[in-house]
């Protein structure tokens, strides 16, 4: 499936409308048969707040596409060939995602590595060993570009290819001093993804939201170090809900950075102490290939997928 | 059941005969109906080596009992009231065990804590926290008096009561500089156990053999730190074979002292990061009580228990 330029513009206007998240987008598309028809109907609908939903103008959407293009980012729609297949199989997959770099690597088997920003030296060293080994095993390493574990994972997997998922827009890299890392990822043939619009500064709630994309891109998520109630545990929860593998690296019970990972292992996550613990666990999945591939909305999908309500920015029905 | 002095002497002579281990002892008792009859038959039997089995003399056995008594140790027979009930339920339980100190605490619920001699500061600190907490929860801490984790576990559990199992005789404490720790254990109301005769210097093979007693005394064994192929993993294997719980404390994959414990967790051991992880796991067992209590051999037991062949010092049949 490939959207026309006009359809892409409609999709963008619809998903950028206030109160429309992936779930509402899907509901509207299913109800009206397409983004164009949904946009036409939008003025007659009210959201939960009682306010009318006004989509951004055609010009505003064109501006976003142009701004993305200037940065080398393309807006890829769910169902299109370049849309990551594993992500597409996940609930609440973003209808449109801005991709910089080599979209093709997003359809190679991937593993997410996430963890503390405030990582220990041992945690960083193990991350490096793990990311390098997974890369050598032919896996793409996905992470969130954060300080600490994430950045180390990306750096160690530059050569085989790594993918970073941003919480803000493509032009709002966070933390800002990781702009050079983004360039290194792109130069090495990796990819950088963003669900949020150009110019969007990431807020706190955008990070957990972003984490479902990290886990959704991968056969499994490895949590290297995580305190209790940390964002990495949210990524692990998403992985579990998406039916993906959850891996955790153990640590001393006296180290608060291991509390979250040790908890995960007690809850059934696979303990990872070496690269083979990951590769062996996902080998059967790789043979199986992408088990489930969602179709595009515009091709007449008439089933209403059950998305996560807590991820929609607000439902209008 | 309580042996007469004469029976106890017969038991001691039989178990101290070369080539007679717990398994052979049991076989002989079952075959001849008692230790006295087995001793009478012994000169007519040959071991695997083809040599006649000559038991120690009555005088030698009396000397051992007297020497033990001078040290405050009593030889307690399997089936007697003071014999630890949980140990009795284990395969290859020693027919006689020399006990110094408070035998009664051996019939209180116990947990074994074992680990590296070459322990890390974090491993020692966690051992202390764990042993103290288990003691406060009313559990007796059992260990092997070794340097490192074992000694720390005993020391942290002195007040509530701790039990040490020796690899050699009661008068051959190893390491020798833990003689003061033995005294402290006894003064605090704990117990020290030995399967081997007075004067027996522990050899390398006596340590794994001793480990089955450590695990056999306890509802579960916690391995705190252990390199691969370490003695603590043998204790864990015995615990598993004895149907007891196996617990392991996780550590960084970069720490060789955590390789054994992380492996155990991958194999299904319960990850322990806090005291409650142990107490919650064994709570149902405590309610159940000692599920299985072996009877004394002299009471006409005619079933041949399946002991571990590798623990017998050599079978004569």
Distance CA A83, CA A103 (A): 8
Confidence (pLDDT) at B287: 81
Confidence of residue A47 (pLDDT cuts 50, 70, 90): low
Would you say residue B3 has pLDDT above 70?
A: yes
Token pair listed for B277:
């992880």
The class that CATH gives domain B103-288 is: alpha beta
Would you say residue A310 has pLDDT above 70?
A: no
> Which residue shows structure tokens 């849309």?
A83
Indicate the residue of B122, B126, B271 with minimum beta-carbon distance to A266.
B271
- pTM, full prediction: 0.88
Q: Which of A135-149, B33-47, B124-138 has the lowest mean pLDDT?
A: B33-47
Would you say residue A312 has pLDDT above 50?
A: no
Would you say residue B304 has pLDDT above 70?
A: no
Would you say residue A314 has pLDDT above 60?
A: no
Establish, for the pair of chains A and B, how many residue pairs have beta carbons separated by less than 8 Å.
68
Would you say residue A303 has pLDDT above 60?
A: no
To which H or E segment does residue B277 belong? helix B275-288
Contact (CB<8Å) A259/B250: no
**CATH 3.40.50.450 domain range(s) in chain B:** 103-288
Confidence of residue B44 (pLDDT cuts 50, 70, 90): confident
Confidence of residue A48 (pLDDT cuts 50, 70, 90): low
Average pLDDT over residues B173-195: 98
Confidence of residue B48 (pLDDT cuts 50, 70, 90): low
**CATH 1.10.150 domain range(s) in chain B:** 1-71
Query: For residue B9, what are the CA distances in angstroms to B13, B21, B62, B170?
Result: 6, 16, 7, 18
Considering chain A, what percentage of its residues have pLDDT values greater than 90?
Answer: 84
Average pLDDT over residues B42-67: 87
Residue B261: which of B232, B241, B219, B220 has the closest Cα? Answer: B232
Q: Which residues of A touch B255 (CB under 8 A)?
A: 122
Q: What is the mean pLDDT of chain B?
A: 90
| Cα–chain center distance at B226 | 19
To which H or E segment does residue B44 belong? none
Query: For residue A87, what are the CA distances in angstroms to A252, A299, B183?
Result: 34, 18, 65
Distance CA A97, CA A117 (A): 25
Interface residue ranges in chain A relative to chain B, Cβ cutoff 8 Å: 122-123, 125-126, 249-255, 258-259, 262-263, 265-266, 270-274, 277
Q: Which residues of B touch A254 (CB under 8 A)?
A: 122, 125-126
CATH label, B1-71, candidates 1.10.3470, 1.10.10, 1.10.150, 2.40.50 = 1.10.150
Contact (CB<8Å) A265/B274: no
Q: Which of A101-110, A156-165, B263-272, B299-308 has the lowest mean pLDDT?
A: B299-308
Average pLDDT over residues A39-67: 87
Token pair listed for A9:
């513009």
Average pLDDT over residues B196-217: 96
């Amino acid at each position: 499936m490939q959207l026309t330029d006009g359809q892409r513009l409609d999709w963008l206007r619809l998903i950028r409308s206030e109160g429309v998240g992936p779930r509402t987008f899907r509901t509207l598309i299913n109800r009206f048969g397409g983004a164009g028809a949904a946009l036409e109907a939008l003025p007659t609908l009210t959201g939960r707040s009682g306010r009318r939903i006004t989509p951004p103008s055609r010009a505003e959407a064109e501006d976003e596409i142009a701004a993305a293009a200037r940065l080398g980012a393309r807006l890829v729609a769910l169902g299109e060939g370049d849309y990551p297949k594993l992500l597409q199989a996940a609930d609440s997959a973003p209808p449109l995602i801005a991709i910089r770099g080599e979209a093709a690597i997003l359809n190679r088997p991937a593993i997410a590595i996430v963890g503390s920003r405030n990582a220990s030296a041992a945690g960083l060293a193990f991350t490096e060993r793990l990311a390098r080994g997974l890369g050598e095993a032919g896996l793409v390493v996905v992470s969130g570009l954060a300080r600490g574990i994430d950045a180390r994972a990306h750096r160690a997997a530059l050569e085989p290819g790594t993918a970073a998922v941003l919480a803000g827009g493509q032009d709002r890299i966070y933390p800002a001093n990781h702009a050079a890392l983004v360039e290194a990822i792109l130069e090495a043939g990796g990819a950088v993804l963003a669900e949020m619009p150009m110019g969007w500064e990431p807020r706190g709630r955008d990070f957990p939201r972003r984490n479902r994309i990290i886990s959704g891109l991968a056969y499994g998520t490895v949590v290297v170090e995580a305190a209790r109630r940390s964002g990495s545990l949210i990524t692990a929860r998403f992985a579990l809900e998406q039916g993906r593998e959850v891996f955790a690296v153990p640590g001393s019970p006296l180290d608060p950075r291991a509390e979250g990972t040790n908890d995960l292992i007690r809850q059934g996550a696979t303990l990872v102490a070496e690269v083979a613990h990951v590769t062996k666990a996902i080998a059967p999945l790789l043979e199986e290939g992408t088990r489930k591939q969602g179709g595009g909305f515009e091709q007449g999908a008439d089933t209403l997928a059950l998305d996560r309500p807590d991820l929609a920015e607000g439902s209008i029905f």
